[in-house]
């Protein structure tokens, strides 16, 4: 490595960096080419999702411990969860994942006019999800099931129930926060997509937000059974 002739150019005078006259406007010059940039962004988003897995994983770990320790109490609290509403909300969120995947597909196939509509659809379905959650939260507030805020619970399991509801609000709240951030990212994408910033040549941000959105969907896919479907008391449907 110490000899100059191991450098590829044999000229004595080093060439100035070649101007990438045809480079995409989104190309960042510390990369070698667009492909390297895309691969790096892709891996970067996956590494970020791994950190999110560990973040939510901490919540799931704590929840697992308490659920096991207090299984009777947890089963008792399940009568306060509306399974049908939760199930419908799950379907809505899955639908938003579909529209997101179709958005990425539209970008990939250069359907630049359709792309914003799929993004709008994703936001719409995500918003429906959040509105339903807001209803559920409000209902729980009226039933005095918000820990720390006039929490009241009948029966022998009051303390443990408070822990369950703490996890309910923290886990779904953290999930909802991630959805709100996702909606913000999607809004940004829509603005850029309408300016035709994305095409089959460059749609990295769409794909990255897609990965994020699907991840948030996956968190809910686990939250729903764990928080809503846990008990023996769901005969005849619950009420929220």
Partner 1 sequence: MTHVVPKSTYYMVFAALLTLTAVTVGVTYIHMGRFNLIVALLIAITKASLVVLFFMNVKNSSPLTKLFVVAGLFWMGLLVVLTFSDYVSRGWLAVPQSWSSEHKTPNVLR
Partner 2 sequence: MSSVPLVHEQPITPEGRTVNYLNVRHSIASWLLTVDHKRICILYLVSITFFFIIGGLAATLIRLELITPGGDLLTADGYNKAFTAHGIVMIFFFLVPSIPATLGNFLIPIMIGARDLAFPKLNLLSWYLLMIGAIVAMGALFLGGVDTGWTFYTPYSSRYSNTYVSIAIIGAFLAGFSSILTGLNFVVTVHMMRAPGMYWSRLPLFVWALYATSLIQILATPVLAITLLLVAVERSFRIGIFDPALGGDPVLFQHMFWFYSHPAVYIMILPGMGVINELVTCFSRKRIFGYEAIAVAHVALAVISFLVWGHHLFVSGQSIYAGMVFSILSFAVAIPSAVKVFNWTATMYRGSISYDTPMLYTFGFIGLFTIGGLTGLPLATLAVDVHLSDTYFVIAHFHYIMVGGMVLAYLGGLHFWWPKITGRMYPEGWGKFAALVIFVGFNLTFFPQFLLGYLGMPRRYYTYPDEFQVYHVLSSAGASILAAGFAIPVFYLLWSLRNGPMATANPWGAKGLEWEHTTSPPITENFVETPIVTEEAYHYAPEQEPEIVGA
Token pair 């559920």 in the structure block, residue: 136
Task: Please state the closest distance from residue 127 (CB atom) to partner 2, in A.
Answer: 26
Q: Identify which of residues 26 and 131 has a Cβ nearer to partner 2 in the complex.
A: 26
Long-range contacts of 62-67 (CB under 8 A, 24+ apart): 62/167, 63/167, 63/171, 63/226, 66/160, 66/163, 66/164, 66/167, 67/164, 67/226, 67/230
| C-alpha span between 236 and 240 (Å, rounded) | 13
CA distances from 51 to 3, 39, 131, 142, 156 (A): 43, 19, 28, 36, 38
Contact partner, 154, from partner 2, partner 1, none, Cβ < 5-8 Å per class: none
Q: Identify which of residues 77 and 122 has a Cβ nearer to partner 2 in the complex.
A: 77
| C-alpha span between 8 and 5 (Å, rounded) | 7
Contact partner, 153, from partner 1, partner 2, none, Cβ < 5-8 Å per class: none
Q: Please identify which residue in 64, 138, 152, 187 interacts with partner 1, judged by CB under 8 A.
A: 64
Which residues touch 204 (CB under 8 Å, ≥6 apart)? 26, 37, 38, 41, 42
Backbone angles phi, psi at 136, to 5 degrees: -60, -45
Contact partner, 59, from partner 2, partner 1, none, Cβ < 5-8 Å per class: partner 2
User: What separation, in Å, do the N-terminal and C-terminal C-alpha atoms of the chain show?
Assistant: 70
Task: Please state the closest distance from residue 128 (CB atom) to partner 2, in A.
Answer: 27
Q: Identify which of residues 15 and 235 has a Cβ nearer to partner 2 in the complex.
A: 15
Task: Please state the closest distance from residue 30 (CB atom) to partner 1, in A.
Answer: 19
Task: Please state the closest distance from residue 168 (CB atom) to partner 2, in A.
Answer: 11
Give yes or no for residue 32 binding partner 1 (CB under 8 A): no
Q: Identify which of residues 7 and 44 has a Cβ nearer to partner 1 in the complex.
A: 44
Binding residues (CB under 8 A) for partner 2: these are 1-4, 6-9, 12-15, 17, 29-32, 36, 39-40, 43-44, 47-48, 50-52, 54-59, 61-62, 65-66, 69-70, 147-149, 159-160, 162-163, 166-167, 170
Task: Please state the closest distance from residue 140 (CB atom) to partner 2, in A.
Answer: 14
- Helix (H, G, I), strand (E, B), or coil: what is residue 24? coil
Give yes or no for residue 43 binding partner 1 (CB under 8 A): yes
| DSSP code, position 148 | T
């Amino acid at each position: 490595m110490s000899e100059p002739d191991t450098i590829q150019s044999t000229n004595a005078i080093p060439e100035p960096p070649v101007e990438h006259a045809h480079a995409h406007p989104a190309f960042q010059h510390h990369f070698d080419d667009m492909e390297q940039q895309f691969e790096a962004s892709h891996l970067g988003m996956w590494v970020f999702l791994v950190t999110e897995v560990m973040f939510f994983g901490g919540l799931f770990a704590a929840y697992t411990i308490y659920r096991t320790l207090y299984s009777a109490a947890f089963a008792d609290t399940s009568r306060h969860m509306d399974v049908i509403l939760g199930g419908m909300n799950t379907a809505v969120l899955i639908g938003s994942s579909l529209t997101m995947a179709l958005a990425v597909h539209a970008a990939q196939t250069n359907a630049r006019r359709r792309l914003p509509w799929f993004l709008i659809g994703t936001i719409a379905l995500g918003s429906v999800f959040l509105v339903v959650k807001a209803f559920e939260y409000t209902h729980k507030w009226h039933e005095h099931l918000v820990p720390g805020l006039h929490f009241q619970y009948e029966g022998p399991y009051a303390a443990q129930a408070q822990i369950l509801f703490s996890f309910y609000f923290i886990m779904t709240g953290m999930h909802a926060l991630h959805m709100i951030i996702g909606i913000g990212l999607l809004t940004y994408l829509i603005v850029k997509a309408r300016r035709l910033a994305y095409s089959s040549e460059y749609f990295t941000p769409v794909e990255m937000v897609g990965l994020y959105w699907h991840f948030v969907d996956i968190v809910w896919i686990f939250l729903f059974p764990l928080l809503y479907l846990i008990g023996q008391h769901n005969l005849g449907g619950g009420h929220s």
